[in-house]
Amino acid sequence: MPKEYKNEYQPLLAKATKDRRWPKLPNKSLLLAVCAAGIGGTFQYGYNISVINAPTAYVQDFINQTWSKRYQTQISDNGLTLLWSTIVSIFTLGGLIGAMIGGTLSVRVGRKGTLLTNNIFALLAALLMGLSHPTGLFELLIIGRFISGLNAGIAICVQPLYLGEIAPTSLRGAMGMGTSIFITGGIFTGQVIGLRELLGKEEYWPILLSTTCIPAFLQLLILPWFPESPRYLLIDKGDEEGCKKALKQLHGIADCDSEQEDIEKERNNLSGLQAKKPWELFADRSLRWQVLTIMVLNAAQQLNGINAIYFYAGYVFKQSGIPSDKIPYATVGTGACECITALTCGMLIDCLGRKVLIMGGYTLMAICCVLFTLTLTFQEASPVVPYLSMVCVFAFILSFGLGPGGVTNILTTELFTQNSRPAAYMLAGSVNWSSFFFIGLVFPFIVLGLKQYCFLVFLVICCLVIIYIFLVVPETKNKTFLEIQNEFQSSKKRQIGFSDGAGTILLSTSI
């Protein structure tokens, strides 16, 4: 290369080398947009899961007293259990319906518009649950929990969609982890607020259940200051000016042009195509592996044993010598542990990649399943064993948060293009909530029949998922949505080979 050209390009080469060594931090506006979407989005999901645990005894007393005043007789134990189970589990039914309508809403009123509209459900649920005690109507708790589920189902469908579309390609993993971070943050906050020192006393339980209005108000105040998804504006609405303005606000003036080029390439590729319906995903042969992948990963997210760990946590803490009145504080420790892991995963995901983290998470969970089965089996063998069980509890939660807890939602965003992504989230959400309901229904019987050996069932599930991810799921780090789609297409062409002369089809997925 001539000297004059070398001198001319040297500053550019130096800049490129510097950019490679020092990944750019996200724009402040982008970080605030993630927080604005999360506080009234998946934070509500995590908060509503955990906040119902603290007032269990008080709500059951309220149902008993209300029943006695209304019918002049005591409610039976089975009747009380049925009503309480309905209050808890109706949340999952609401979530399933919310997931089914979330994708459609995100296409019609936009990602940001859906998140803002969704707060109506949160405010209505808070009002109904807060009024249940003064009105003496425990039915309001059932309706309120159902509406809370609707809110959570829509949020967990639309928020990852919004975060995945506003983030630049190089930071899509870290920004997408906002979904998991706010879920775990919601769980942790619900556990803390439910302590006796705060709102965990008997007289405060209606206030505790109605605090879901606070994140809703915060989102209504903050999110309107941030733009709609640039991809939605350009690809779905054809608003080039709005897209450019949104990219400048979210990514900064320097980086908006390259991102707009990527979005325009995707728009040109999808020219003339309409947004798909969930059932149309099954009919599209080019998407069958992506569809199967999100169904497997979302089902596994609920069926991998994390719910069993929380079920056994109280028993393990008690066996370790923690007094019964101090167990809630140890439970808060599990919430903090999961929250910290989600943050750690957010920092690692764009360095290590999605595939490494999710496979590593499931591998560690499989190991924990074996160790936890052994420690529960030999619980009385030595005074040290209960403490080993406690270590297994925290290790399992850490492993879940490191991979399956956060990466699953990001992959749902990345494996699909704009016209099929909302339908994919509706499908993924439906599978996730159905699995959540299924494990809640079946798990007590699994524990009754297998005792501590129930973790061997979860061991098998974790191992099968590891094999599936290794064989089928490609690495998506630093790839555009079109590049990921093309990799699936090229992989599909190499999947089918024929054996020598026999004509037997062999599957050998190329990663």
What mean pLDDT is reported for the chain?
A: 83
Would you give the DSSP letter of residue 223?
G
Q: Is the pLDDT of residue 148 over 90?
A: yes
* More confident position, 162 or 320: 162
DSSP 195: S
Per-domain residue ranges of the chain: 26-226, 280-491
Lowest mean pLDDT among 114-128, 225-239, 469-483: 469-483
pLDDT at 492: 57
CA distance 25 to 174: 10
pLDDT of 143 over the 60 cut: yes
Phi, psi (rounded to 5 degrees) for 321: 95, 5
Per-residue pLDDT of 307-341, as tens digits, reads 777 767 777 777 767 787 788 888 888 888 888 88
Condensed to tens digits (0 to 9), the pLDDT of residues 121-136 reads 999 999 999 999 999 8
User: According to DSSP H, which parts of 320-353 are helical?
Assistant: 327-352
Q: Which of 175, 45, 2, 95 is nearest to 431 (CA)?
A: 95
Q: Which of 373, 359, 357, 382 shows the shortest CA–CA distance to 309?
A: 373
Query: Average pLDDT of 197-214?
Result: 91
Residues in the chain: 511
Judged against a pLDDT cut of 70, whether residue 503 lies above it is answered with no
Highest mean pLDDT among 6-10, 171-175, 187-191, 481-485: 187-191
- State the pLDDT at residue 74: 87
Query: What confidence score (pLDDT) does residue 493 get?
Result: 53
* Listed range (19-28, 65-74, 208-217) with the worst mean pLDDT: 19-28
The model's confidence at residue 295, banded by pLDDT at 50, 70 and 90, is: very high
Count Cβ atoms within 10 A of the Cβ of residue 359 and give its class: 0-12 exposed, 13-18 middle, 19 or more buried.
buried
Measured CA to CA, the distance from residue 317 to residue 507 in angstroms comes to 47
More confident residue, 219 or 324: 219
State percent of the chain over pLDDT 70. Answer: 89
Q: What's at 170, amino acid-wise?
A: S
CA distances from 245 to 219, 229, 248, 256, 262 (A): 22, 11, 5, 9, 16
Q: What are phi and psi of 227, to 5 degrees?
A: -80, 165
CA atoms within 13 A on the CB side of 71: 9
- State the pLDDT at residue 118: 95
pLDDT, tens only, 35-61: 999 999 899 999 998 888 888 889 989
Residue 306, pLDDT score: 83
Query: In this structure, what token pair is assigned to residue 243?
Result: 């897209």
Confidence of residue 210 (pLDDT cuts 50, 70, 90): very high
Closest to 414 measured CA to CA, from 231, 226, 252: 231
Q: If you average pLDDT over residues 98-123, what whole number do you get?
A: 92
- Among 83-97, 152-166, 266-280, the range scoring the smallest mean pLDDT is 266-280
Class of domain 280-491: mainly alpha
Q: What is the pLDDT of residue 151?
A: 95
DSSP for 5-57 reads HHHHHHHHHHHHHHHHHSPPPPPHHHHHHHHHHHHTTHHHHHHHHHHTTTTHH
CA 117-119-120 angle, to 5 degrees, is: 80
CATH of domain 26-226: 1.20.1250.20
- Give dist(CA 397, CA 341) in Å, integer: 8
Residue 116: predicted pLDDT: 95
Residue pLDDT, tens place only, 402-453: 888 888 888 888 888 878 888 888 898 899 888 888 887 777 777 778 877 8
The mean per-residue pLDDT over the stretch 172-201 comes to 88
Sign of the alpha-carbon torsion through 102, 47, 360, 372: negative
Residue 112, token pair as written in the block: 């940001």
Question: In the prediction, which pLDDT does 219 show?
Answer: 95
CA distance 473 to 392: 28
pLDDT of residue 508: 32
pLDDT, position 282: 86
- The per-residue pLDDT for 491 is 62
Which residues make Cβ contacts (< 8 Å) with residue 71, sequence separation at least 6? none
